[in-house]
Amino acid sequence: MKLVFLDALTLGDINLDKFKEFADVEIYQTTNKNQTIQRLQNVDIVCTNKVVIDKEVMDNTNLKMIQILATGMNNVDLEYAKQKGIIVKNVAGYSTNSVAQLTFAMVLNIINKISYYDNYSKNEYSNSEIFTHIVDFNELNGKRWGIIGLGEIGKKVASIAQSFGCEVVYYSTSGKNNNADYKQVSLEEILGSDIISIHAPLNEKTNNLLNKNNLTLIKEKAILINMGRGGIVNEQDLADICDKNNFFAGFDVFSSEPIKKDNPLLTIKNIILTPHIAWASVEAREKLVDLAYKNIEEFINGKDNEKAL
């Protein structure tokens, strides 16, 4: 039995030694499209985060299982894998706490002006005539927090927001979520909130969901956080509107990753950017690897469980 990791670098420094219990393990830190087929020769199980496993790859290898090291499965041709009898598994639920935490890290940084005060303290505070230096900041208590996409992560954010004293409302991107714990409102009403956070997948209903036609509804000094997918917000439209309308943004996801040098988000002053790391706390990555290990263990032991699909 041979098992290959194609892009282990995406997991950071998480130890993968336990997979050696199952098979001969080969680990590649990164793999480009031209290397994929060659590296999967005589391989039974492949573990991939973002490397594409398509029809061409499957037709030119003898894969028996594809373990996706993420929740999203768009990098694998699922229908063709089914035709070929190749088991495909993903992992889910590992990053809820991590993503919620970064959501609040961004919001609290912005609303408390942490970056500004850090810079002031290091460069100007020693020259102050008084013991403090006040630039207005606000409390979360009493603010309206609008959530776009009330899945597991959205619900975690909602719970924490309530503990800060926020009024929580949500918009269902599928139109099928009828959570009785929070008030469901229209997208237009959501965009009038004090804080708006996105925790939705990218699909035909969410692609370009926020654009020049509705981004203008975001009020002055409000905060827009995107922890979903880059394509949900039209980046050029946001760049044209954000600073002009004096609201703030925090983005962990982008339409193209890694971010391109000409991405319009890089021109915005009122924005915090992180490189798609909300999912990646140490604990979340350890849980991800544990879930993948369990999937592979079940496959090798003959427990053909396709629930992950």
Q: Which residues are catalytic?
A: 229, 257, 276
- Whether the bond between 201 and the residue before it is cis, its omega within 30 degrees of 0, is no
Residue 254 near residue 263 (C-beta atoms within 8 A): yes
Q: Which two tokens stand for residue 118?
A: 């850090």
CA atoms within 13 A on the CB side of 139: 8
How far apart are the C-alpha atoms of 48 and 68, rounded to whole Å? 5
* 118 class by beta-carbon count within 10 Å (0-12 exposed, 13-18 middle, 19+ buried): exposed
Residues recorded for the chain? 309
124 phi/psi in degrees, rounded to 5: -130, -25
Measured from the Cβ of residue 119, the count of other Cβ atoms closer than 10 Å reads 12
Q: From CA 299, how far away is CA 305, in angstroms rounded?
A: 8
User: How far apart are the C-alpha atoms of 99 and 90, rounded to whole Å?
Assistant: 18
Residue where the block lists tokens 């973002």: 50
